[in-house]
Amino acid sequence: MALPSKWRVDTNADGSRARVFSIYDKAVSGAVTFDVDCYANPESLSPHAFWDDKRQVGALDAGVGDVPLGTGLTSYKSHGEGQTHYDVYTLTHQQNACQVVIYNARAPEHAAAEAALRTFRWR
């Protein structure tokens, strides 16, 4: 994904989780703009089916529908509200799946995060 130059990314050791900060001060409320979590998708489920399968009982997000990305991929979008409004974009490719959770769905950084999402490509 193409990110604004001032944003920073922290990843875990195995690379399955990335946390993107628009403000690189973890103590600042709203500093985390979005998370990317990747999983195995052994059944090669579609984005909608994977979201439905991964969704937990009592989850606060509700399905919105398919959203095409600028790279020719299609994600499945859901929207929820907890401590903040958030959007979840689920993408799948063969036996891989990633969910991009964009926080503060009403904040100015949301549009920039969605613009970054539209540049998503599988490696």
Give the CATH number for residue 40: 3.40.1000
Could you give the number of structural domains in the chain?
1
DSSP 8-state assignment for residue 95: T
pLDDT number for residue 64: 96
CA 35 – CA 121 distance, rounded (Å): 16
Please list the pLDDT of the chain residue by residue as tens digits (123 residues).
Answer: 777 777 788 888 887 788 787 765 555 555 568 888 899 999 999 999 999 998 876 778 899 999 999 888 999 999 998 888 889 999 999 999 999 988 876 667 788 888 888 888 887
Q: What residue numbers bound the domain in which 102 lies?
A: 8-117
Indicate whether 2 belongs to any domain: no
Q: What pLDDT does residue 47 have?
A: 96
Is position 123 within any domain? Answer: no
Is the residue at 15 inside a domain? yes
Q: Is residue 3 part of a domain?
A: no
Query: In sequence order, what are the residues at sequence separation of 6 or more whose Cβ sits closer than 8 angstroms to the Cβ of residue 61?
Result: 55, 78, 79, 80, 86, 88
